């Protein structure tokens, strides 16, 4: 084997190793699989997810768009407390699913949340949510959870921006903070959608 070929193979191997390392520990690409985040993110759009800051104990806040593994109930749209349909899903299962979801944080540990017409009321006050798509809420009972839910400490209440077309914490409960993969911070595909979140 010629020296030039060996160098080329070594360069490709190092580049591949770096790319895999960056994806595993620093930044991960993620493809939007559903319409649950419309109009913010559309099906097929691709985002970059910051995996590094979470490893250093970053706190997530309301409004952050996160990629995470949901409770196992998300696989079957099941709540851990199924006998309370008038209250949404106040708690999640103890184990997480193997799939990845992307949603927005609307409540953190200790927050009292209710939802009316798809709009979030935090501790009794309606939140300003210019990103929320409420068009499908007129005929969707999941858009109304008028009784307060208190988000457990160490958990996040996640909702899609497309409020009438998103299975989220209303259905399967809050998400453990340590189930978060990272925060989506930019879109990179398609080219006309390149930007920050």
CA 35 – CA 43 distance, rounded (Å): 6
User: pTM of the entire structure?
Assistant: 0.84
Among residues 146, 154, 197, 160, the alpha carbon closest in space to that of 178 is found at: 154
Which pLDDT tens digit goes with each residue over 133-183?
Answer: 998 887 777 788 878 889 999 999 999 999 988 989 988 889 999 999 999
Of 121 and 83, the one with more pLDDT: 121
Which pLDDT tens digit goes with each residue over 3-36?
Answer: 777 666 656 666 565 555 555 556 788 999 999 9
Quick check: 160 and 137 in contact, CB under 8 A?
no
Quick check: 180 and 60 in contact, CB under 8 A?
yes
- Sequence spans of domains, the chain: 27-196
| CATH number, domain 27-196 | 2.10.109.10
């Amino acid at each position: 084997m010629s020296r030039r070929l060996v160098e080329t193979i070594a360069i490709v191997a190092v580049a591949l190793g770096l790319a895999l390392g960056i994806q595993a520990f620093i930044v991960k690409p993620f493809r939007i699989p559903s319409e649950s985040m419309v109009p913010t993110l559309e099906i097929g759009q691709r985002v970059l997810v910051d995996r590094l800051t979470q490893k250093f104990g970053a706190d997530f806040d309301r409004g952050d768009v996160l990629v995470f593994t949901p409770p196992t109930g998300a696989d079957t749209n099941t709540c851990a407390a199924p006998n309370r349909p008038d209250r949404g899903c106040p708690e999640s299962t103890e184990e997480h699913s193997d799939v990845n979801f992307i949603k927005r944080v609307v409540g953190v540990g200790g927050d009292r949340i209710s939802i009316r017409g798809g709009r979030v009321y935090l501790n009794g006050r309606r939140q300003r949510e210019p990103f929320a798509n409420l068009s499908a809420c007129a005929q969707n009972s999941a858009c109304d959870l008028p009784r307060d839910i208190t988000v457990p400490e160490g958990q996040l209440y996640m909702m899609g921006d497309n409020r009438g077309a998103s299975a989220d914490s209303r259905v399967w409960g809050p998400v453990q903070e340590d189930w978060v993969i990272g925060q989506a911070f930019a879109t990179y595909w398609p080219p006309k959608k390149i930007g920050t979140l």
